Structure 1
């Protein structure tokens, strides 16, 4: 299979055109989100810096405390995210030395993947996660394209350290990216016997980066006098369940992706696997090695699930876009008469736009519904106290409102979730939501503030019935459900983290 090396000048031009193609694709795929703002779960708090430091995401906190808006700016944060992701796409294409047609094909598949929608739902962190993807792409570029120890190990170690400090799941992105390069190397028959060296470089850089991550994390925690929240270790099930149970959960998770039961918008995984297998039916000098790398690519995609021993939300599948796009371009290269493959790019574009728009439309409906109900609650509080809705009022929201989720796609994770019944009723979140949306001026009260008269709370009817709003000392209690929710004080500390996500 003949391969012609692209000249340096052409590579720059191709990278720029790739950036534009990816950026335009993002604009179309996420156009509904750009034009219909809504608050989603976790977007209600104005400052998450200390919390993110406590859960080990000090890289995110540093960016938010310096150059990125905290928590976000509508439209601007999305556009910044698309610029960063498009830059990562351009850098990957430059690293892979793809031709113009291959690069454009790759860009459409990469940018139309619905996986990042599950990150973009959290505007408070999507820009930093996009930064982590770009940093990981830079690390792999240096490992592949440079030769000195400084450029191939030390600098990548710092880049990977900071990427993991932004979002821990990103650690496996660099491995998916390198495996994609190795697979391309084989199908283009340009292998130069550096494969083991490249893998070794990445492993060493990752180890150094992780050591730096933990050391710097401890120093930063001490500097801010914070205690680490064991976010990752608390969701690991290997220690709580038998080996058989954990393996069963992992196999079931992987099986869902192979049987079209993946998270909404991510059933293109099956298509990617087909693309990955196709080259085995064509002449390849190193079919055994290709098969090994292809298998490793699939395993790497599910690495976080394997680490924790169970199924995880789609947002942790950070390697999905590179896996899908790289698999597609591999078959695009192998099959010489590939004009029909542009239909695949068109399908990916339309499928991505349809599924992503549907996900964010679901969130938009949920936000509108929450806004309407919360406004009615605020109005009832004001009437009860005979004050203006602009008057600051100390409130505790007891329990969760029994409302049906809006009509939402199957397997769509947190899309369409309601603030009024998240965590089975979280007063802190509800208060923050009402303040953020300017529905009312709520001073959050603690569960401890109402302990003195819980009997009256339990005896009261549920809102919107008469008597569902009552006063205990200086606190207004709004009874939304019969039982107190998770995280009764509205915080994660000293509670089970899985109940407060």
Structure 2
């Protein structure tokens, strides 16, 4: 017994000694490696230069050798400097001449640790002035400045302690991992080489439902071909300038879109990009469609490939695709709800509840919550597909006995239960998100009009029915161009569905069809009947697909008629999207040419114009843009940055900065209002004299009618 104890004690001592030695060695390596090199983060706004210089020292004077130049990170409008060594003082040379900028924050990061530096410890030391305005610190260098400098005070002793603590903790974890690998590596290798039960189940699902790479590639190719223009062009729509300069994705939390926040935070930190967001979106739609087919007990055939053309190219997708920031999260949301409904369609309701079913129910509910968190209107998409599943299950069921309908009603109850549970989960996670990111929900509140529904429910219902009629008939008022063949297909599909063998089956089918058609418009009842943009009506694309699929399921002359109408429908969809493309291309080119010409006239108005120096401009009025091509009311496809909001100077200037004119900056609203009289005798752009320099400010007059800011002058 004594010998056994001594042996165990020796073994423990041996491993403990090895662990201690490894910990010390790893700590020494980590402290001297770039992994634990602190980074100084300086977040700015309206910064006029592309790069700046930081000096660091330790028991020595500042020198060029101990300094580094860094370019600004455009996706986060910040500088990030590594600190190889440091003491309590750092020197930042932000500019090379007379300029100005706003400073949002200064911090030091070290892996997951972040130490904020008080603005009291960030002070000008040479040729700079510091003031506080609009909740930001404003630094300005007076004329003649050649070497503006800022001193940043940090607590170097505290930072060294943090580095040592993190190094020791990481070293201890690495030591434990090393010893664990030495002792248990045979077991670990055996575990990871064994296929997990989840992988086995997934393989079984893929095999049983015939999912294939060929099918996915076919659907993805169809999506890319039919949407080639938005994929191969870079359309900057109104609001894209906001997304391009956004540094904090928590604005999505204010809209209740916490999935969109996660997507922009971790997948697309700079969402305003050509090609990539669109490609990601069509990848998600292709995968979603494969799941939607199986949910309806359909398979990959030439007919389902044809109907995918109607689904993926439906004009309603264009309205959501106008904003690059919306695309990735919406695509992911559609994929989540498709997986949710696929799970629901595969739950066996003939047996009692068990652990597997409860887990499937929980997963379906959580996925629906994630879809709603991506875009709230997707909840109506879920309901529409859910009703489609029910109709496909019921359309051949003519059993008069209630017993035969029990599985159908169980499926309805399950879809409803997942819907309610998903809403509860969404609201719960949304509450948590808003606790950590408190925001103003003003945008969402602007849509909700519950008081109008309570005061006059019949009137709101009438408005909603009118909106349904316009959208389902492809009204030019809604789409900007006639879209009538979809209405013909919908009527034909409805006629075929309600033609059942019994009156009861026909009546039941009519109720299901009514529920399907109403489901995309449920939010209209709480938003005043017609207060939702068309981009929120994504479920309409499914209903168009559904009507085509119903018709093509029949054989003989009905299928021939369906194929002819489907071909005409696809042609009309492609034509409509072509008109939308023309409208967007013209608006994009118009704005780019306008920005270039305005900038050219700004430069010509000042013989000493310096493109690297800050140029303060004030824009009066707006420049109207009219196109021969469609311009639907709820769309920005033919909208101009120089026309939107009746003339929004800040939006125009942000757009000019985005396309490359980075030295133009807006004035404060109060300063703009005060300048209103100076525009009175100026001609309207592009006449000579419509752009002029006045006391260091470039005045630009786009119209005689004032914009909302200048209209405040009395």
**TM-score between both structures, scaled by the size of structure 1:** 0.86
1:118 lines up with 2:308 in the alignment: no
1:398 lines up with 2:620 in the alignment: yes
Tell me if structure 1 keeps the 8 A contact 2:631–2:638: no
Tell me if structure 2 keeps the 8 A contact 1:462–1:480: yes
Aligned partners of 2:494 and 2:424: how far apart in 1?
34
Corresponding position of 1:97 = 297
Tell me if structure 2 keeps the 8 A contact 1:133–1:170: yes
SS of equivalent residue, structure 2 residue 451: coil
SS of equivalent residue, structure 2 residue 538: coil
Aligned partners of 1:154 and 1:472: how far apart in 2?
65
Q: How many residues align?
A: 480
Q: Deviations over 1:135-192 (max 9, x none)?
A: 1111111222125453443222221222111111111111101100111111244976
1:15 Cα deviation from its structure 2 partner: 5.8
Q: Deviations over 1:324-365 (max 9, x none)?
A: 112221222244552443333322332222211220221011
Aligned partners of 1:95 and 1:29: how far apart in 2?
25
Corresponding position of 2:56 = none
Match of 1:360 among 574, 578, 581: 581
Match of 2:678 among 456, 460, 466: 456
1:269 Cα deviation from its structure 2 partner: 3.8
Q: Which moved more, 1:339-348 or 1:10-19?
A: 10-19
The answer for unaligned runs of 5 or more in structure 2 is 1-203, 349-355, 399-403
CA pair 410-22 structure 1, distance change in 2 beyond 3 A: same
1:195 lines up with 2:379 in the alignment: no
Q: Deviations over 1:232-276 (max 9, x none)?
A: 331234535852543443233223235541414754441223313
Corresponding position of 1:141 = 342
Corresponding position of 1:370 = 591
1:321 lines up with 2:541 in the alignment: yes
Corresponding position of 1:333 = 553
SS of equivalent residue, structure 1 residue 211: helix
CA pair 209-463 structure 1, distance change in 2 beyond 3 A: same
Corresponding position of 2:496 = 278
Match of 1:174 among 382, 406, 426: 382
Corresponding position of 2:105 = none
SS of equivalent residue, structure 2 residue 426: helix
Q: Deviations over 1:254-304 (max 9, x none)?
A: 232355414147544412233133222354672222111101111112223
Which of the pair is proportionally richer in strand? 2
Aligned partners of 1:13 and 1:345: how far apart in 2?
26
Aligned partners of 1:216 and 1:91: how far apart in 2?
26
Between 1 and 2, higher relative CO (CA 8 Å, sep ≥ 6) is seen in 1
Q: Deviations over 1:53-97 (max 9, x none)?
A: 222222112101101252232112211111111110011112222
CA pair 246-126 structure 1, distance change in 2 beyond 3 A: same
Corresponding position of 1:498 = none
Corresponding position of 2:331 = 130
Match of 1:252 among 446, 451, 466: 466
Tell me if structure 2 keeps the 8 A contact 1:153–1:202: no
Tell me if structure 2 keeps the 8 A contact 1:393–1:443: yes
1:231 Cα deviation from its structure 2 partner: 2.0
Tell me if structure 2 keeps the 8 A contact 1:29–1:357: no
Corresponding position of 2:288 = 88
Which of the pair is proportionally richer in helix? 1
Match of 1:350 among 551, 571, 574: 571
Aligned partners of 1:485 and 1:221: how far apart in 2?
35
Aligned partners of 1:149 and 1:22: how far apart in 2?
31
Match of 2:667 among 445, 452, 456: 445
Corresponding position of 1:58 = 258
- Give me the CA root mean square deviation: 2.9
Aligned partners of 2:275 and 2:414: how far apart in 1?
39
1:446 Cα deviation from its structure 2 partner: 2.8
SS of equivalent residue, structure 1 residue 212: helix
Corresponding position of 1:495 = none
Aligned partners of 2:212 and 2:519: how far apart in 1?
26
Aligned partners of 2:442 and 2:389: how far apart in 1?
35
